[in-house]
Amino acid sequence: MKPYSILSSVLLCLPLLLSGQTLQWTTDYTGTTTYQVPTGWTITIQQEGEVSTWQAQESPGEKGTPGLLVIAMADPGLELELLTTTLLQEVTQEIKIKNRIASYNQSHLTLGATINGIQAEVATMAMRDQQWVYVAMFAAPSDRFYELGGASVLYRALQQHSPYLANERNGSELSNGSNMQDITTQNQILQQGVTHPSHELIGSWLQSFSILSGDDYLTSENAIRTEERGYAHLLDLREDNTYTLTYRYQSYSGGCPYEAEVVETGGYKLYDNTLKLQRDSYEANYNVCGDQSVERNNQLAPASYQIGSTGQELVLRGAPFEYSISVHNDASGQAYIQEGFRRQ
């Protein structure tokens, strides 16, 4: 099944419906996803081969009905913006991209387009997660698009934080410091060349990352937000030159949870601006689509991290703290993610 054949049925026949509506939200009543959906909208789910779709429409079959759509497919290896616009070009004309935000494994677009002769607005989000690509869209006639809430409708439905809001705040929407997953920020800190003795680095350091938004994120309890794809690490460096790393990971694929909680212990030493971890052992608790298991490992290779610090923020640049459930590599086999910790 070609994904654009689904797009043609959900991306609007378009003239207008009633105006002046305020959306009320409810959880996906099919129980298939954790998405939110405007109350009263109709959900349709399709699965054919390696392509699955979830769509919600205000009034199916009526011209001009706004719609939400999520397509999940095996990763075709295309650049995400190209994949999104290629899908859209099958059913839209005169595409004009208005805003774009991209990072290593996600792409966000807002654009204007003509659909069946009607001017429409579309917000899109595409992301890679393990071996899958997800492309999500919210489309509506131009005046209804903004009346209903614009791009925020898409992020509310997916329960994700809008990257446009994050940009307006000049950094993370959810944290008070720098976005420590931003490579430019990491480089700026590392290039300061500040050397710190070990006693200045003793304490707890947090690193958290949203796979979808590419930004730092955490709850007030320093945990991953419910139903979000992402991970969080808490690294405790102690005076006796031992450490504990607590790691949490959460993602979904095909509606199934992929979760891990890992506790790793060991010792550390500092050499100039290098942190060397002598990793002793870890215990990992996994939940993969309801299949729960425990993994223990006491044969771990040492790890080295380049240190940079402003006194308030710390960068550990090296291979990511990853475990078997959550390895993310790019096309060349290199790790996507490099760590950036913030003192707690």
Check whether residue 248 and residue 298 sit in a common domain: yes
Query: How many domains does one find in the chain?
Result: 2
14: number of Cβ within 10 Å: 22
Is residue 277 predicted with pLDDT exceeding 50?
Answer: yes
Asked which of 108, 126, 159 is the last residue of a domain, the reply is 159
Same domain, 125 and 103: yes
| pLDDT of 180 above 50 | yes
Q: Which residue has the higher pLDDT, 1 or 274?
A: 274
Closest to 148 in 3D by CA, of 107, 174, 109, 120:
120
303 lies in a domain?
A: yes
Looking at the predicted structure, is the pLDDT value of residue 214 above 90?
A: no
Domain boundary among 100, 131, 159: 159
One domain for residues 152 and 292: no
In a domain? residue 166: no
Confidence of residue 181 (pLDDT cuts 50, 70, 90): low
Burial class of 252 by CB neighbour count within 10 A (0 to 12, 13 to 18, 19+): buried
The 10s digit of each residue's pLDDT in 155-166 is 889 877 677 764
Q: What is the pTM of this model?
A: 0.50
When pLDDT is cut at 50, 70 and 90, the band that residue 143 belongs to is confident
Q: Are strands 67-74 and 132-141 parallel, antiparallel or unpaired?
A: antiparallel
Residues 97, 235, single domain; the answer is no
Answer yes or no: is 120 within a domain. Answer: yes
DSSP string, 17-38: ---S----EEE-TTSS---EEE
Of the residues 136, 159, 182, the one at which a domain ends: 159
Within a domain: 15: yes
Is the predicted pLDDT of residue 189 greater than 80, yes or no? no
28-60 tens-digit pLDDT: 998 888 888 999 999 999 988 888 999 999 988
Q: Are residues 329 and 286 in the same domain?
A: yes
d(CA 275, CA 114): 55
Q: Is the pLDDT of residue 215 over 70?
A: no
C-alpha atoms less than 13 angstroms from C-alpha of 336 in its C-beta half-sphere: 18
Provide the pLDDT for residue 171: 31
Confidence band, pLDDT 50/70/90 cuts, at residue 222: low
CATH number for the domain that contains residue 299? 2.40.128
Cα 210–Cα 131–Cα 78 angle in degrees, nearest 5: 90
Residues 140 and 241 in one domain: no
Tokens for 56? 């919600």
Domain assignment present for 263: yes
Residue 199 identity: H
| pLDDT band per the 50, 70, 90 thresholds, residue 21 | very low
Res 224: pLDDT: 54
Window from 182-186, 245-249, 281-285 with minimum mean pLDDT: 182-186
Confirm whether 165 is domain-assigned.
Answer: no
**Is residue 49 situated within a structural domain?**
yes
Domain that holds residue 322: 171-343
Please tell me whether residues 116 and 216 are part of one structural domain.
no
**CB 323, CB 215: distance < 8 Å:** no
Whether 82 and 176 map to the same domain: the answer is no
Report the chain's mean pLDDT, rounded to a whole number: 75
CATH number for position 40: 3.40.1000
Per-residue pLDDT reduced to its tens digit, 68-102: 999 999 888 888 888 888 888 877 788 888 888 87
Question: Is residue 164 situated within a structural domain?
Answer: no
Same domain? For 39 and 185 the reply is: no
Residues 155 and 175 in one domain: no
Mean pLDDT over residues 328-333, rounded?
49
Phi and psi (nearest 5°) for 243? -140, 160
Token pair, residue 184, equals 């430019």
In Å, how far are 25, 103, 231, 333 from 80, measured between CA atoms?
Answer: 29, 10, 22, 18
Q: Looking at the predicted structure, is the pLDDT value of residue 280 above 90?
A: yes
Asked whether residue 7 carries a pLDDT value surpassing 80, the answer given is no
Cα separation, 127 vs 210, whole angstroms: 11
Give the pLDDT of residue 243: 94
Is residue 40 domain-shared with residue 145, that is, in the same domain? yes
pLDDT in tens, 281-292: 999 888 887 888
Residue 206 and residue 334 share a domain: yes
H or E element, residue 297: strand 291-297
